[in-house]
Each structure stands twice: as structure tokens, then as C-alpha cells.
Amino acid sequence: MTLDNLAVDGGRALPLGAALTKDGVNFAVFSRNATAMTLILFESAAVGSPSIQIPLNKRENKTGNIWHCFVRGLKAGACYLYRADGPYNPERGMRFNPNKVLLDPYAKALTDISNWDFGKSLGYDPKKPGGDLTFSYTDDIADQPRCIVIDDSFDWQGDMPLNYPLRFSVIYETHVKSLTAHPQSGAKHPGTYRGVIEKIPFFKDLGITSIEFLPVQEFNENEFSRRNPRTGNLLTNYWGYSTVSFFAPKGSFSSDRSPGGQVREFKEMVRELHKAGIEVILDIVFNHTAEGNEMGPTFSFRGLDNSVYYILNENRRYYQNYSGCGNTMNCNNPVVRSLILDCLRYWVMEMHVDGFRFDLGSILGRDQYGRLMENPPTLERIAEDPVLNATKIIAEAWDAGGAYQVGWFPGGRWAEWNDKYRDDVRRYWRSDPMETRHLATRLAGSSDLYLRDGRKPFHSINFITSHDGFTLKDLVSYNGKHNEDNGEENRDGNDNNISYNYGHEGPTHEPVLEALRERQLKNFFATMMISLGTPMILGGDEFARTQGGNNNAYCQDNEISWYDWSLLEKNKNLYRFVKEMIAFRLRHPGFMRPEFFSGRGGSYNAIPDISWYDEKGNVPDWESIGYFLALRVDGSRAETLADRDDNDFYIMFNASTNPQAFTMAEAPAKKEWFRAVDTGLSSPNDILRPGAEKILPSQRTYPVKARSMAIMISKDITNG
């Protein structure tokens, strides 16, 4: 494509971004305070390619606060940037600089960002030597990535978002690159969206319903200058929680490196996952951007309208920092709110994703002064938006500014990452004293958190591990973090891991210790799968992936973060247990009930929906209960609101270091208890498939080994 014979006219104010038509491209960008705007068009994505600059006229090319134009004859694949001129007055929050080229906040793809040097986007304040780095007389047009005009057409082959109800979901959290970057992955397209497609047979075998990806919106992995003190290698922004462009999928995750290829390949991945019955959930970061604080680069929002997009300090030269990353997006400003809604709708309507997990979600509830709002309009709009009505919305219900809203996140139908579930289950299985009663609350769906505001058990996202912290294997292998490779002298990462190494720090070849650690892994998985709520597992935990004790691998693009697929064979017994436990949950409506337990009988059998026992079969004394807990769950359809009766269940927990014989409640009339799961037994007896469960005829006691749990199901002895 050449830039010859292009005609430019006034264009339209909406939609924002670069909208392709059969005749050309409409460009529209918001800036309330700019005094001049210039569109820059490039002949190609190549550095040094010819370009033209199109000044926009206030009379013909501006409607309200939107600058716009229509370029006839322009095609998909064209590249562009903006320049915005206006007042440079940091004390008033104005940071316009006509020498800076700027990305379109609505850009749907960027050119290669992998070699972008953020330092070249820095400038200086000539009026304040040593002050903030925001003004530059240097033109950085040759160094900055460019926006790409995208053709949204794609052969979806009839695909639409799957939108499974949360209560029927099992979420698998993973990083796109980590999944297949390791040489042991066997992927033809390692570290890419197509690499994910290659792992679909594995996902189907595992049985998960939904994949939650760490950020895939474009970010600059090379924004750090710190090195690994052990290897000398540069560390990277590996996780991607530092967004450059909210609408644009990460280009380096695509094996197709043609302009816009990342958009097509992302869509291919979603389509193929959906064909396999697997949802796509995106971890999305609206709380801040990669522009950082007043010392950071200017490449988009700051240069277009700094005081609109960010929450500024009382001295408006500086930024409020509720994200811990230098700046905070002004999420409840109407302009930013519209950007957020437009972005979410785009990912749902054009990219067919099924849901979002909102990083540091509490920031979306802060006003322009940083105060937490009682009824935040942005959170309510997301929850009530008609396009997003069936889309999963999951909040990380806290931020780095001190907000903690687990159990009372505002805005309606939001689900939440339940860190109280994580911590209480970890403490119980570590054998901390007086944790059994807290375990019971978490098993029953965390009604202490979600019942009071009308939410349901499935609004609790139950997890033991996530990307942020130890892997499950490391949780039972290390007493402390080992983050020296991050180059921060092991100061980074959480010190409160609620972990235990069982007598030896790190890997061991001692069989008894390895068996104990594997049993604890099975305990964690089994506990999560029989708890009310929506389970989320960390990718690789199902085959005991380790990060060598690093609990904050945000900067490790190497074998610390990559999944070593040789572990799948090495730990095949654990993997078998996990996939059978997932299938067990999804087979039994009793663990996916939509309402909280009442403790009363709501069906013809007069059995309470849940009953609690100590090891002797008595009602527990919750004030003095030890490490033993049992519960009976009624599986009748009147209790589970399912279309069929389920089995009843008797579940026993023993977090002590000694075996314990449990006295069991009587099985329902004309039925017997059958052993389905016992984490104290070796594979394959630790979990038995349907029809292979072991009958316990008239047996009133069952021995549960130390640090083990067992699950009994009721079955008709004549019909199975």
C-alpha cells in the first residue's frame, strides 16, 4: 500500500478508534484539552517507512471533544499514530507535548513492541531540572510502535461465547507463553495462541471448563532494566500487568507476525477452544497503565489528556498510586468509564471471550479523588450492561491503596477471588490449631461473605494457589520464599505464604516425605472440588509444577515460569487424581448447588441439606473442635435444584498427624455407603471411578489416615 492518492474529509466522531469501511478508514480520538491534533499515517509497519502527517482542523475535524477524519482509499494493515498539542503545565495536570507520537487508546493491534525502549519515550522538564520526565524536544516517531488498522471480519464458523453458569465451571489459570514455551511442551508453535490450541486435547482430558489467561492485552515485556543477579540476564515484564493498549492482543504471543496477525490468531484460539467446550476468560488490568508516574514514559493517555485519564494528586504534577505501579486510572470519569465498557464489549462481541477477571478491581470503585464510592457507576455499569449480561465478571476485590472488599464488592452480580478461602484451607491442612471451624465455613460456600448481600455460593472463586504466590508443589515444599533471581534481594513477594515443607526445604528424594507432600496436594484438590463455590486451579499444579520456591515470578521468562511437561509423566498418579476429582465434582450436582445450605431438610426425606459431625459422630463443639471434621450432604434434587437426585455424601477430614477412626452417620434407607475417595490410599485406590466404588456394608466406622480425607457416597446396593 502507498500513501498516494488518498483523500481526506471530515469524518465522524463515533466510533472511536480506526473504523474500516469499504471506502476507507474513519479515525476518531478523544482529547478535551488539546489545542491541535495531527494524524500520522505510515506506508507500512517497517521502521523508516514513508509517512504523511494530516493536521486536523477544529472546524471540520472536531465534534465536541472528539477529533476525527475519514481517509478514503486506506486499507486494513495501514499504520498510524497521533500528535496532540496543548498546554504543558504539570501543576494543573496538563502534559501535552507535540514532539511525542501517541498510540490510539482504541487501537486494535500494534506493530512489534518487543524491542521498544521505553527510555526513548522519556523526556525532561526544562523548567525543573531533576524533576519529572515528561517533556521532550526529541521526535520519537522512529522508535515507537504503531497502531494498525484492523479488518474485523473473521470466519467464526458459527461460534459464540459459551457463557457457562459459574456454578458449573472449573477454571484453569495460565499464562499463554508459560503453557507451551518449555522445550518439553512438544508444541510446534511454542509460547503462542496456536500453542494453546495444540494443548486442547490435554484440557479436554483434564476436564476443566474454562481457561483464565493472564494479561493478553499488549504490554512491553522489555520495560525493566534490572538483571538476574545469578545469570546476568535481563529480567522482563513477563506477567504483563502493565497495559500499553487495552484493545490490542499481545503480538509476541502470536506465531503470525504479519500486521494484524495477532488478532486473527487470537480469534482462532478462541474459536477452537469453544469447539472443545472450553471458555476463555481474560485477566484485564484497568487499574493503571504502563505510563507509570511522573518519571515514566508518555506514549498514549498522558499525552492525549492526562488529567482525564488518571487520578492526580492535590499537586497535580503527581499521580495517586493505588495500584502500586505509579499511576491509577480515573475509572469513574465518564470518558474512562466509556472506554472500559467499549473495551469489554469489543472483547466479547468481536473476540468472543466469555469473561474477565479484573486485576485490583477495587480501583474501579474509586472516584476522581481516590475515595472508595458506595455505588461506583463503573462497577454497576459493567454488572448491568446488556451486552455483558451473561459474561463472567470476577473481581480481585482489593488494591494496593488499602482497599479490601472481599465479601462486599459493590456493583451487583460480581464474583470475587476469595483469598479467605485460600488462607483458611491452607491453614487447616497445615494443621494450624482452631482452623477446623473456618474450614467448615469455606466448604459451605463462604456464606459469611456472600449471603448478606444476596449473592450466591458460586460468586466465591475458590482457589488455593494462583499465579501470584507459590505453586501448589512449592506450597508443600518450602517454608519461605526464594526470589533471589528477581534481583530484589528476596524482598519482593509475600512473606505470609501459609506453607510448610514438612521437615526439608525444597526438593527431596526421600520417599516418605514425597508421599506426604503428594497426599497434601490431593487433599487440596479434593477439598476445592467438594466446596460450594467456583473452583480455580493454577495451571501446572495438576502435575506438580514447581518454581523453585519463587513466589513472585512476574519477571521470569524462563524455566522458572514455563511448564515442564515431563512432569506429567513423572507425576501421572497425581494428574489422574486431579482429573478424576474434577470429573467427580462435575458429575454431582450436590457440590454445584445454587443456594447456600440452610441446615434444614427441604425434601421428602426429612434429612437436612447439610449436617456436621465430629470424629465420634456427634454434633461438633465449634469452640473446641480439633483437627477432625465430618459432614453429610443431602443430594436430593429438592436441595440441589437439579433435574435428578444425586447421591448423598459423607465426607471426613483429618488434618492431624495421627490416624483417626470416624464414626459415620447411617446411610439413607435401602442404601449403603461406598468409598469413592481416600487421599490416604495409593493410586489407583485414592479415587475410584463410577461403578468401581467400594461398598462398606453396615460399617459404622471408617479409618482416615493422618493428613487425609475420605469421601463416601450413598448407593442402592441392588441398582448401584
Q: What is the set of active-site residues?
A: 359, 396
Alpha carbon distance 93, 307 (integer Å): 5
Distance CA 544, CA 563 (A): 10
Mention every residue, 6+ apart, whose C-beta is less than 8 A from residue 333. 308, 309, 368
How many beta carbons lie within 10 A of that of residue 618, not counting itself? Answer: 11
| Residue 401 and residue 412 in contact, taking contact as beta carbons nearer than 8 Å | no
Question: Which is it for the CA torsion 519, 525, 527, 529, positive or negative?
Answer: negative
Cα distances from 195 to residues 213, 253, 272, in angstroms, run 13, 9, 12
Question: In whole angstroms, what is the distance from residue 29 CA to residue 331 CA?
Answer: 18
Residues 6+ apart with CB under 8 A from 519: 679, 680, 707, 708
* Whole-angstrom distance, CA of residue 389 vs CA of residue 384: 7
Contact 349, 358 (CB under 8 A): no
Ramachandran region of residue 435, left (φ > 0), alpha (ψ -120 to 50) or beta?
alpha
**Count of alpha carbons within 13 Å of 169, Cβ hemisphere only?**
33
DSSP string, 128-161: STTS-----SS--TTTS--EE--------TT---
- Contacts of residue 509, Cβ cutoff 8 Å, sequence gap at least 6: none
Select from 271, 257, 230, 102 the least CA-distant residue to 548: 230
- Is the four-CA dihedral 400, 378, 394, 284 of positive or negative sign? negative
Let me know: does 648 contact 610? Beta carbons within 8 Å. Answer: no
Residues 6+ apart with CB under 8 A from 334: none
| Nearest residue to 51 via CA among 106, 6, 105 | 6
Angle 167-172-178 from CA coordinates, rounded to 5°: 165
Give 487: exposed, middle or buried? Use CB within 10 Å, 0-12, 13-18, 19+: middle
